[in-house]
Structure 1
């Protein structure tokens, strides 16, 4: 699910080994810049949650366009999962454009891409084209994959060091807020209908259109202007505006020091990560952490919770309302987990999260199996909420954090790129296979996820080192 805090976490981690940059506080220009950027993360959350409630109506649309022999469930699975294929393309595209054109211009281009995807989805029913819906969903996936890389990078670079962690969490909160908004809009009395679902999907135009209006007035990243564009005058102007003060010399100097230190480090490519054993080991750990986030089944719940609740015996109208609780639980746990990460440690929270998900995936299976009892239908919903809650404890954010803490600066960018690609690919696999698995396994559909969760828990227990309060040198030394 969420690649939302990669760059922010990267910079938080670097702060343990860099000089102290000048403080700075919250200003109107800073809040404006962050708001413009995190609209991309809200878009990601919205389009993750929006496809859940209108499944029945979209399937009706597919039947109307194709012959009676069409595999409607498979086509719907493609509509869901093509989003992740777009995400796999959007992530590296964001890294490339952000370095070539700057953070702000890259975000603006991505906003235009988002508008295009939303228009295609919104007009697909009017055009009578399922293909148009699939292409629109793919393009909005590119937009969201792009946002999960570019938005946290921009936010982390404009935020003052002492507030960088707090502003980094805004990305995760925006994702959860977008998801809840999509689920609320998908209920029957709003846009959950045969006539309303194109409007529901088309509302994705709003975050991107608002970004198009806001970004031209937002400052460029001072870090990009200084270190990539080599324009210190513009960097000073931008930083003065963001900080609300002309006393920025210390921060400018610290950027120069950090850049000089980075240039002294040996650079590693993606292929180097697989060639050298001291890099291969932490990479494998990071990859498994990303797989544990996705193959534990969380996106099966985020994409198909209404289907799960209907299978548990709830009426469709009630099930659509219950899906709101899924996004709400993620939002609450995003708030709860923020102070726990540095207090309890990454390894502990990952183990607690995976362990809780394992327990409640088993209980969800029991509830689905005994759904003839109306009480168990209620428990199926409760167990699903608790499953999502434990996901929010650790597996939601720690896989993105851990790669930035297992590698030094010379290898970190390549490692994070591999992690993002693995995450989006696993997202695609879950989105594509859940409905066929559900048809084949029925009430036992979560057992494969349970088995994988157990394996991920065992792997984490024996292989994942604790990185809390450790410097990069201390962590990397473990693998040499």
Structure 2
């Protein structure tokens, strides 16, 4: 499996593992990892309906996001120009075609932001399952518009379809991890949460596969490529009714104890799930009133400040890590290595397959390595490989074998990113926030992701134009900053409830504050002690000076002499001379 295949790099991975993962007196590294690997996999196999939920929710959730990202630029500029000419009878110049094409690309991100905001309100009103069902309707409508756009000779229909796809993807990416994490037992939440990234990678791979010229990547079939998402939406629409509503939503929002028991038994079988129930009831007791908070209330909450800041930093880093730059330069590197032009699509498929395999490995490893260790592993690994890639890209025209080093570094960058940040970040959402803050937390994370994706899409061409391969140095700064932030500010969340994670955040930052205050108090006490000692020394010196003055006076005056005499009555007396 992944962990045993990764044997050469396990030394680095073990250095990042928490102590309780490594164990004591373990000499056989491979057998230890193999045991934990099989244990995690076998535990998941005990919950068949949870496995079904992973596939059913995934196909209409993050799969759609990954698919649209990979096929976003499949239609060529010539197709837009041809459509404009047939529709209006006017030959569009290069600037007009570029403007229309840029809008076709960016409107998907705008739809994604709208979908993220809609998801917050929809899941409050309709619940997780009902919201996911309704979310398939925009995707089906968009697929119909996309397929008909070629016959209608209308790129306006393509724009509307792109907007609807964005809304569908925004809602799906927000609700996908929320529903899955709430349906999974506590000991499998990390593994199930990482599957969100796995389906995103799978969507990219399927998009690349269908986009090759032998399938749908041609001028007359590209609308069917972009309409493929409608089939995925139909598949989820027909299978999602087989799944129950989220048990957590039924218990905490609707206060439906009978519905909760039915959903829990269907998902978790006849096993004892009293621990999960106790955790939810404790959360309800701690929160007292399960009021669903808004985005503004979450941002203004002092107790949730560090979880929110962590989500903002990690989700921004997903787009600012430079992985898009790696993909951008990959084709030039492959050409420099002598790979024929007609074979480049298949090499790109290899990159997509590497991403899928790494995501699956992350899903297996997250349960025993931990979230924090994988985040650090990913960002440090990406930063190192990007630094080396900057060097090899600048030397590949001078040294004949340097392009092969660049190819290796490209695949390593994808591996580090997919097995760390891409896989773990999504799972943090379901763990960081208590039930009342979840919709707002997911809305913030999704919008941060969409905004950063839009900014990178707009600014990256200019960055490459002026910096060339040195653009990786900008992304190195982001990766280093995020790694430092995670190391100093984020606790390990493995097998912890939302309330426990909240306490870990408070403990971590309160502990830092206490240390600072203790240091200040110690310094003040030391200064006070020094001052007291100085005063004592001053008094001693004053006393010594007084004694010295007395001695000096005595020496100056000399000894006092007396003369003894006897008076007439016979009494003796002394007379001072």
TM-score by length of structure 1 reads 0.80
What is the total number of aligned residue pairs between the two structures?
455
Cα contact 1:74–1:435 (8 A) shared by 2: no
Change (3 A) 1:145 1:404: same
2:506 counterpart of 1:476? yes
Paired residue for 2:132, among 88, 91, 107?
107
Q: Is the 8 A contact 2:71 2:207 kept in 1?
A: yes
How far the C-alpha of 1:425 sits from its partner, in A, is 1.0
CA contact (8 A) 1:406 1:476 kept: no
Contact 2:195 2:423 in 1 (8 A): no
1:300, 1:431 within 8 Å by CA — same for their partners in 2? Answer: no
* Alignment of 1:49 onto 2:92: no
| Higher RCO structure (Cα 8 Å, ≥6 apart) | 1
Q: 1:460 to 1:167 in 2, by over 3 A?
A: closer
143-152 or 432-441, which deviates more: 432-441
- 1:203 aligned partner: 228
Cα deviation for residue 391 of structure 1 reads 0.8
Mapping of residues 126-141 of structure 1, within 5 Å:
126-141=151-166
Deviation at 1:437, TM superposition (A): 3.5
The 5 A counterparts of 1:47-446 are 47-51=68-72, 54=74, 57-64=75-82, 65=84, 67-70=92-95, 72-73=97-98, 75-245=100-270, 255-263=280-288, 270-272=295-297, 274-275=299-300, 279-301=304-326, 306=331, 315-372=340-397, 375-402=401-428, 414-446=440-472
**What is the SS of the residue equivalent to 1:67?**
coil
Quote how far apart the aligned CAs of 1:393 are. Answer: 3.1
Change over 3 Å in CA distance of 1:310–1:448 after alignment to 2: farther
3-state SS of paired residue (1:184): helix
Per-residue Cα deviation, 1:359-392 (whole angstroms, up to 9, x for no partner): 2223333444445466444443332221111112
Whole-angstrom distance in 1 between the partners of 2:124 and 2:486? 34
- 8 Å Cα contact 2:381-2:413 kept in structure 1: yes
| 1:113–1:163 Cα change, 3 Å | same
Q: Compared with structure 1, are the counterparts of its residues 94 and 155 closer, same or farther at alpha carbon in structure 2 (3 Å cutoff)?
A: same
Residue 70 of structure 1, CA deviation: 2.0
Quickly say closer, same or farther: Cα 1:135–1:363, change in 2 above 3 A.
Answer: farther
Deviation string for 1:97-122 (max 9, x for gaps)? 12211222211111111112223333
For residues 324 and 378 of structure 1, the distance between their equivalents in structure 2, rounded to whole angstroms, comes to: 18
- Classify 1:196/1:28 alpha carbon distance in 2 versus 1 (closer, same or farther; 3 Å): same
- 5+ unaligned residues in a row in structure 1: which ranges? 1-22
Query: Aligned in 2, Cα 1:250/1:355: closer, same or farther, shift over 3 Å?
Result: closer
Give 3-state SS (helix, strand or coil) of 1:191's partner. Answer: coil
Do the aligned residues in 2 keep the contact of 1:176 with 1:327 (CA within 8 Å)? yes
For residues 359 and 156 of structure 1, the distance between their equivalents in structure 2, rounded to whole angstroms, comes to 32
| Counterpart for residue 523 of structure 2 | none
Secondary structure of the corresponding residue to residue 153 of structure 1: helix
Query: SS state of the match for residue 351, structure 1?
Result: helix
For residue 452 of structure 1, the aligned residue among 478, 487, 490 is 478
The answer on whether the counterparts of 2:191 and 2:367 sit within 8 Å (CA) in structure 1 is no
Are the aligned partners of 2:45 and 2:51 in contact in 1 as well (CA < 8 Å)? Answer: no
The CA deviation at 1:92 is 3.0
For 2:202 and 2:327, how far apart are their aligned partners in 1? Answer: 14
Q: Which residue of 1 aligns with 2:56?
A: 36
- Give 1:193 deviation, angstroms: 2.1
Return 447-456 or 180-189, whichever deviates more: 447-456
| Aligned mates of 2:401, 2:446 — CA distance in 1 | 40
Contact 2:177 2:427 in 1 (8 A): no
Aligned partners of 2:331 and 2:344 also within 8 Å: yes
Matches of 1:160 and 1:276, distance apart in 2 = 28
Q: Is the 8 A contact 2:138 2:168 kept in 1?
A: yes
Give the SS at the match of 1:385. helix
Equivalent pair of 1:82/1:428 in contact (CA under 8 Å): no
CA drift at 1:207: 0.8
Residue in structure 2 matched with residue 6 of structure 1 by the alignment: none
Distance 1:31 1:337, change over 3 A: closer
Per the TM alignment, residue 208 of structure 1 is displaced from its structure 2 partner at its CA by 0.3
For 2:484 and 2:259, how far apart are their aligned partners in 1? Answer: 51
Distance in 2 (alpha carbons) for counterparts of 1:51 and 1:479: 43
Deviates more, 1:255-264 or 1:204-213: 255-264
Relative to 1, partners in 2 of residues 1:265 and 1:138: Cα closer, same or farther, differing over 3 Å?
closer
Instruction: Give per-residue Cα distances to partners, 1:32-76, cap 9 Å, x unaligned.
Output: 444322212322222222235x2xx42221233261232545544
Q: Which is higher, the Rg of structure 1 or of structure 2?
A: 2
